[in-house]
Every structure is written in structure tokens, then in C-alpha cells.
Amino acid sequence: MRGEQHGGRVISGELTEAYEVLESVEAPIVLSCEHATNRLPPGWTWPLKDAWLVETHWAFDLGIADVTRELATELGAPAVLSRFSRLLIDPNRDTASPTLFRDVADGRLVQLNRGLPWHERQRRLTELYMPFHQAFGRLAEAAPGADLLSLHSFTPIYEGGPPRPMEIGILFDREDVLARALANHLSDVGWVVALNKPYSGQGGNMYSVDHHAMANQRRAIELELRQDVTTDPARRERLVTDLAEALRVTGMAR
């Protein structure tokens, strides 16, 4: 355990090979960051043929760990962040999802996941996926009534397609009223916002936060933030300030 003082709040961190937890006594909202890093824990290494993937969005969500930490500090909120690449196993997928272990990226084979035997799949589930979700579940249970917010980032252009105009995507399944309130506030302060874009939050596509929200009878939203914003310190600072205000105004952050 380790602790740091931030603006009168103490956020302490629990660090394991699978996750990092930031804790706060206030818990106005619970944050999650499923794609925080491209790290491979001890026991796994990148195949040489996968070197091109390591710093790309296929391996992690660029800039989103910084957003999560800064937003947690701004709100005095607890958070759980993954400490393994989404290419090892994706904690934002149901265990039955065909992309739980992605074997193709940008039309090329992912050698890390080629021909995975059953015992290796089970190892990743047991050592990485399940501990992350257990930590998320503990945070949610320890914050009765708190809403859950998952944070992700997306590429300005995906696989050669047209530029994505939205800077913030608000993903939801059941919480359409809350999502629209967030969108209206963020649009009013100058952000380009879209609902259920560039991905939809319906049909299990925001699995992690929705799973824990349903288990704890909470509201759940997933934010998708464009990576040219999340990786720019000045724009990210403004983004975090505006997100915190939007969450307070709409009642997500108590």
C-alpha cells in the first residue's frame, strides 16, 4: 500500500500484477479503466512479430490511465486500473466473447494469441481477468449507491476510415436520460459529443461497468475519449475539469 495527498484527499494505491486500486474515503463515484496499459506481467513477453502492436491502440487505450488518475484526484473518487494489455485478455469483454483473446488486429495475426491452448486461456482468466473484476466488485460494494463510470479512449481514425468528429462518446445501455444530460452539459462547454458513438454501449459492448452495475443495482456509463485529447496534457487538463463538473451537475458524482 502507498498513499499520496491530493488537494486535501488521500488516495492510496493497492498494486498487484493484475490491477491497481486507488482508494478514497469519499467515494462519490467509482471509476474503472479496463485498458490502462500495454504492460505484460511477468511470465509473458511480446513475440517479435507483435512488436508493431505494443504502442498502438490495439494493446491499450492511449492516454486513458492519465485521465483516470486525474479525474479520480479531482473528484476524490476510487478507481481500478488494469495492469495488463488488453491483448493478453480483454477485461471489457464477457468470457464468451470471440474477442476476449483477440487474434487479429488491423488485418494481421496477433502472435501472442495464436492457437491459445485451454490451459493458457485459463491462466489468463485466473491470474488477470478475474482479479481485476474482483477488485472492481469490491470497490462498488464499498461505495453503496455510487454510480459507476468506465473510461476508455478511441483513435481519431480507425483502420483507414473517415475522421471521427466526436471528441467524447457517451456509451450507455439503460441510462439514456443520464447520458443525454451528460452530453448536453459537455456540449454546452464546447466539446463535440456523441451518444453511443463511436461504439454502442448496448448489446454487451460496455461489459465491465455494466456487469458490475447490474450486480450492485447501480447506474453505469462508459466514456470514450478521443486520443488526440487524452494524450495532450493541456487539452486533457481541460477535459478532466469539464468531466468532473459534468459528473457533479448531473448527479453522477455526489
**Domain positions in the chain:** 2-249
Name the band, by pLDDT with cuts 50, 70 and 90, for residue 8.
very low
Q: Quote the CA–CA distance of 15 and 39 in Å, as a whole number.
A: 14
Residue 10: what pLDDT? Answer: 36
pLDDT tens digits along 107-128: 999 999 999 999 999 999 999 9
Name the percent of the chain lying above pLDDT 70.
95
pLDDT tens digits along 47-83: 999 999 999 999 999 999 999 999 999 999 999 999 9
H helices present in 114-198, as ranges: 118-124, 130-141, 176-188
DSSP lists the bridge partners of residue 55 as none
Strand order in the sheet with 2-6: 2-6, 9-15, 19-23, 79-82, 30-33, 148-154, 220-226, 168-171, 193-195
Bridge-based pairing state of the strands 30-33 and 9-15: unpaired
Q: How many residues does the chain have?
A: 254
pLDDT tens digits along 31-40: 999 999 999 9
Radius of gyration of the chain (CA): 17
Residue 11 has pLDDT above 90, yes or no: no
- 2-249: CATH topology is Aminopeptidase (3.40.630)
Which SS3 state, helix, strand or coil, does residue 177 take? helix
